[in-house]
Structure 1
Amino acid sequence: MIPELRRRAYLGAMQVASWLPRTVLPFAAPSRPELLEPPQADAAADTPVEPVAAPAVARDTAPAPPVERPKIEVPRPGAQPRQVAAVVEEPAPVEEKPARVAAPPPRFALQLLRAGDCALLVELPTGQPFQSRDPAYILLKDLLRAAGLPDSPQLLGEPVRWPLLVRGNLDQGPEAALEFVQSFVAARLEEQPSTCLWLVGLPAIRFAGEGDEHSYNRELQVDGLGACWALPGLELLMEEPARKRELWQAMQRVRQRWLA
């Protein structure tokens, strides 16, 4: 059986004003008593009505096409009502942004040193602290003597090795490494200020001076660290001796900072 509201909608569509069910319908409104009374005779119905002549229609006028009425399906007693599918507008597809892939943590080892009025953040080629007979350490001593600085630099803290943790969910990407290295060096320079900070090696330039390989032999101004000088790595200078000439020319301009 169908609900009362839908039943009335069907009857209204069929232009049925009065109807009586043969059986009691569930969920139906009670019948109105006035519908059960016989229709009263209309006195005017006995009066003959004179036919009215229809207006003449031009022969050239084409007859209007018949109006098609929508077909209405009348529910039968005992039949299950047909489910009316609701038309739902599908939402417009939303472009999904690709998930951000976490950058792998960089790997490097840096040692902070002090020579005279300069601080040095040097890349450790082997990842281990310098030894007196290491070729890289001997080259560093030669650079300090050429710059007019003491050739026996003082260690400032333990080496900084990245990543800090082998396991765990801690973010150790490039941005975290940059923030850590700059904070570490700034804390040491606050204790012992320096005239110029040497950044020796690409990891030192990238994660302390926010530079790259194009910053070699240039001066950088870094917030919190002051004036910095970017140098190629010691291992790179040994592999490519031609870089020492450009380094020496740049040193002639920069050394006035600590010799003054």
Structure 2
Amino acid sequence: MQELRRQRYLAALGIDSYMPLMQFDVAPLPVLCELPQATVEGSTSFNETAIVDGGLDDAVADFPLSATTLEQTAQTIDRVFKSLVETPPAREIKDSSAALTPEKVIPITRPAVTFSLSMWYSHDDWLVIDSRKPQAALPTAALLNNIIQALWQKPLRTGVEEVWHWPFAENTFSHQTEEDAKDALSVWIEVAHEKHAVNKLLVMGEVAWRYTNVSTGTYEESLWQHYELTGGVTAWVVPSLVELLEDPNHKKKLWQRLRVSSHE
């Protein structure tokens, strides 16, 4: 017990090891000095702060030590030593791998879409792109023929309608998102511009407007407006043929708009 206390005492003072002085054979035996009794108990007590701060040597030089003082000193050193070497309670270790692992950036892609467009090389350098609605079963081709003949005194070319389906049946393994549809239609229009010298687009209906990507606003904001595209192509956004048949009030405005554009 005394040895353990001595080790704690030395550790608290910052002394790694202590070896007593060697006593030579011819040297006289050490004599234990008698310490005078302390008159006032409070005057011989050590200040705990002085001990912790390393002022033990000064305190020993100023005050004589008694058995009670030594016991109090040992208790103080023991308490300080325990506070230094006691292991704090184990904390729950949480898995931080999720916090350290950077989040994967997943590109935002809209789901695959299915639609179809009707396209006519109506006359000269015009290309009509209409939003198809086959389930309506309305005479859209006849209406377009009347519009073309009234404006340009030329009938609509027979057998020139092309139906553009998305997604492509031959590319079932490729990406078929909304952005892919815009890219594919843009390439198709560029080819038509080079092959048939198309310089004017009549974009009819919301579906055709969305995938031709002629403007960044809403469909309502883009309606009845014209936009300059790359390659010197001009696009006019108007209601679809089905919308014209369902709401005849649009025909008057379409007539006025196309009469102006036909002479530009």
TM-score by length of 2: 0.61
Distance in 2, Cα, partners of 1:12 & 1:158: 98
- Counterpart of 2:227 in structure 1 is 220
CA contact (8 A) 1:189 1:225 kept: no
- Counterpart of 2:59 in structure 1 is none
- Counterpart of 2:166 in structure 1 is 162
CA contact (8 A) 1:209 1:228 kept: no
Q: Are 1:17 and 2:17 matched, yes or no?
A: yes
Within-5 A mapping of 1:114-125: 114-117=121-124, 118-125=126-133
Shift of 1:204: 1.7
Listed as ranges, the gaps of 5+ residues in structure 1 are: 1-8, 19-34, 75-81
Distance in 2, Cα, partners of 1:154 & 1:195: 21
Within-5 A mapping of 1:89-108: 93=99, 102-108=109-115
Q: Which amino acid aligns with 1:223?
A: T
- Counterpart of 1:244 in structure 2 is 251
- Counterpart of 2:180 in structure 1 is 176
Does the C-alpha gap of structure 1 residues 150 and 96 become closer, same or farther in structure 2, counting only changes over 3 Å? same
Q: Which amino acid aligns with 2:186?
A: Q
Listed as ranges, the gaps of 5+ residues in structure 2 are: 1-6, 50-75
Q: Which amino acid aligns with 1:40?
A: Q
Q: Give aligned pairs, total.
A: 216
Higher helix proportion, which one?
2
Q: Are 1:203 and 2:212 matched, yes or no?
A: no
| C-alpha distance after superposition, 1:169-192 (max 9, x if no partner) | 522111111110010111011011
Shift of 1:124: 2.8
CA contact (8 A) 1:116 1:149 kept: no
Shift of 1:199: 1.3
Within-5 A mapping of 1:29-68: 39-41=22-24, 43=28, 45-46=30-31, 64-65=47-48, 67=76, 68=79
CA contact (8 A) 1:106 1:174 kept: yes
TM-score by length of 1: 0.62
| C-alpha distance after superposition, 1:4-55 (max 9, x if no partner) | xxxxx9998486737xxxxxxxxxxxxxxxx9xx94246583596997x99x
Q: Which amino acid aligns with 1:173?
A: T
Distance in 2, Cα, partners of 1:195 & 1:113: 14
Distance in 1, Cα, partners of 2:41 & 2:157: 119
Q: Secondary structure at the match of 1:229?
A: strand
2:198 aligned residue (186, 194, 200): 194
Distance in 1, Cα, partners of 2:238 & 2:167: 23
Distance in 2, Cα, partners of 1:155 & 1:185: 19
- Counterpart of 1:71 in structure 2 is 82
Distance in 2, Cα, partners of 1:218 & 1:16: 90
Distance in 2, Cα, partners of 1:228 & 1:239: 23
CA contact (8 A) 1:110 1:123 kept: yes
